[in-house]
Structure 1
Amino acid sequence: MSFVSLLFIAFAMSTDAFAVAVARGATLKHPHFGRAFKTGVLFGSVEAISPLIGWLIGIGAASYIVKWDHWLAFGLLLALGLKMIHEGLQKPEEGEEADDKAKRSRVMMLLTAVATSIDAMAIGLGFAFIDVNIFEASLLIGLATLTMVTFGIMLGQRLGAMIGKRAELLGGLVLIVVGSVILREHLLGLA
């Protein structure tokens, strides 16, 4: 597979994470490039590891993974989206510690990164059957995702200033839409 083809695949794999990053950036009050970059590194790392895992699983489990990957991604994104919507509708708690809120946010971001990377794992499974340098492909997917997520958070922050408190609700809806699109594409055989 050519470098250009791998590059297109890498950016295609990062579109889910980009949409989530824009929604996440819209919920942040004061994101700065460093924070956006750290989130990009998290998503990029998970996205880079996923095709390697898929490639290692190989032929033996391919039919099982392909049958269920879209349902897993949909379920995770639906649950996370509903949680964000629920939190967006709640009034801030008086006694809530900033550290507790930050810890929950990091766990949620990790789960979101995993959910958006399941398709990359499926791509890795496909790479096991063709002549592809899996390390080059994984690196490109990770770098593309890092770039798109970092940019997405910074873009989302600008949008968040315009939509205010509704940003968390919008973020939850975006997660649900991304999960639904993944499910729809697989059920219709588009992915």
Structure 2
Amino acid sequence: MSQQLELLTESPAQWTTVSLLTPEIQKKEIKPFVILALKELEGNPDSRTSSLMNADKFSAVREVVRHFARLRSATKDAWHLDDVQTFLEGLRFSPDCVAELTSLLCMDQMYSNIPTHLRVKPGLLSLQWKIDVSLSQSTQQRNKESLQRTTYVILTIKLTDGQTNTYRLSIDKFQALRYSVASALKSMIVLERRNCMRKY
């Protein structure tokens, strides 16, 4: 599975309702729905949206457009046709709709005005660390030429937008980072267990 397809399909549970509606959508409805969805996401909703006869089908297409817009803002890479087609086929769109929607979602112009509220920071692709032990001359005892050993942790972080960042941390700072990450994860687990955060 490619990296793009893995990114697109990372939360399969969110597409359960959408995949129930997609087989009913016709090819002629795709382009108008995409245009209306883009206008709504850009903060300029069309008055026709409120009077749509097929509001459920529009909602399904809007969810797909929103998903692609969010992920595109994170990765900055153009979508691969095969990955988009595979994802849409998994949502049970008809072959005609898959072809039409793929051609629209792979157009760069579609993402030129991605709204600020949809933009996401790049995700973490990989994290590597190693121990760096360096020997430095003690400033207090230069005349005796004594050596002092200093230990650091080198973190190399790769992001989904292609950036690679390297950090050099002391052991204390590294332990503080570990504690902060563990605390954040614990808070997320507590939140996920609350009824208001569960999807029905």
Which TM-score applies when normalising by structure 2? 0.26
Specify which structure has the higher proportion of strand: 2
Bigger relative contact order (CA 8 A; separation at least 6): 1
Which structure's CA Rg is the greater one?
A: 2
Specify which structure has the higher proportion of helix: 1
Which TM-score applies when normalising by structure 1? 0.27
